[in-house]
Amino acid sequence: TSTLQSGEVLPPLELGSECMVGRCVLAGSLLCAGCLVANGAQTREWCRIGEQVIIGRGVTVENLVFRTP
């Protein structure tokens, strides 16, 4: 099942300065300055990842999550 409604349009992904993304980050999310999404990691829709946060290899951040250091 999905939490997205059929046909729902998400805003574009927002990336802060010096972000490093090695894998899948879905639309509707915000990655703040200096964060890292490692290879083999992913974030779902509507995530807000704070400055200098690292999402390590093999991690999935589900939708509607807010993380700060």
Asked whether the beta carbons of 31 and 38 are under 8 A apart, the reply is no
- Of residues 15 and 5, more confidence is placed in 15
pLDDT reported for residue 34: 95
pLDDT reported for residue 2: 59
- CA 10 – CA 19 distance, rounded (Å): 21
pLDDT > 80? residue 49? yes
pLDDT reported for residue 52: 95
Read off the pTM.
Answer: 0.77
Q: Per-residue confidence at 67, pLDDT binned at 50, 70, 90?
A: confident
pLDDT reported for residue 5: 64
